Structure 1
């Protein structure tokens, strides 16, 4: 099964079911810090992780930082989710021009433990972004892009290139690549069981009886 095939298995799944299955697998810390939220209500995100790491640095050469950003952008694969470990609380790490260049290339969105700006344009474009804060301040003058497509810790979760990133109104979950196919299959089973419980409850079946019949609640 290819990476795109595995990602497609998550298209109809919601993050609570995925998080529950990951817990059963022993992966208990796969949900990104809940303060990292969608830029707009109703946004969702799905793709393979493309981790990005940086740090505050007010001694950077802005032209060099920009050149590294452009180099990094060229490496983001189609279907990739840019997932940032910024170590920063003051500036914006994604803006309108970046989105304008990345979106036509099939980049799936961004999850930023950091900031974003030009938010009205990004919303208009429908580019999925989950971020910690907004700021008008450009990071180019005060932030150093250290590395990309490498392991990172984002919002308290260790992320590796190729992991599956799923985000919706409940939060963002990172599924390790090595268990992604199995997690998707089990999450579909769980969702199907929950659908059956929901139908039973709507038909007036008592909660205890519904649980006994379907083994979930």
Structure 2
């Protein structure tokens, strides 16, 4: 079942899914969370971690990576901080070896070259070299987090590509997939019509382009 879901999601772009969830009135688009490389693609279920600033009792980055399963996505909420990293070379190497689907961060990462070398998908607000050790502390594991203004629950689905990242709530997955596939098919028909010489205005009208993402309830 999960393999089938991954296959269906992989066939859809973030724009397909974004339009589908607009129609369904689901907030899904993670603002300013982008791939380190535009070729990165990511599909998988969320495993969540939230960091906060250190207090008098010091910091903790957490040792969690060995507990994740192949195909999961590491979702890290570092409260959009740009002054300290929470992901680097050793985590990337381990995650790639364990065949995780990727890492998404509301914050920044470092050691970008390793991710590019291993073709390991990372989506974040950017990269910088300053370590998070002694600057952050683990506040919650496998709890709801925020990612680019979107709430993410453990086991929600994530899809990332060159256009960014979207979150698909687990309880809405079937409905989102059905609508996104309908939108994808309509746009494929429009593209085929354009290639055949049909004017864009007519092709759009024939397949209801302007209402594809419009809420219907």
Q: Structure 1: which 5+ residue stretches go unaligned?
A: none
Q: Distance in 2 between matches of 1:12 and 1:197?
A: 17
Map 1:103-182 onto structure 2 (within 5 A). 103-182=96-175
Following superposition, which runs of at least 4 residues in structure 1 exceed 3 angstroms of deviation?
A: 2-5, 58-62
Partner of residue 214, structure 2: none
Normalized per residue, the structure richer in helix is 1
Question: Would the aligned equivalents of 2:58 and 2:137 in 1 still touch at CA under 8 Å?
Answer: no
Once the two structures are TM-superposed, the CA of residue 60 in structure 1 deviates from its matched residue by: 5.0
What is the CA distance between 1:107 and its match in structure 2?
1.0
Q: CA contact under 8 A between 2:85 and 2:109: conserved in structure 1?
A: yes
Q: 1:59, 1:140 → 2: CA distance? A: 14
Tell me what 1:36 maps to: 33
Match of 1:92 among 79, 85, 89: 85
What TM-score results when the alignment is normalised by the length of structure 1? Answer: 0.89
The 3-state SS of whatever aligns with 1:107 is: coil
Q: Secondary structure at the match of 1:187?
A: helix
Unmatched runs of 5 consecutive residues or more in structure 2: 211-217
Aligned length: 209
Summarize deviations over 1:36-83 as a string: whole Å, max 9, x none: 211112111111111210112164546xx25xx21x223323211111
Q: Separation in 1 of the partners of 2:183 and 2:28?
A: 18
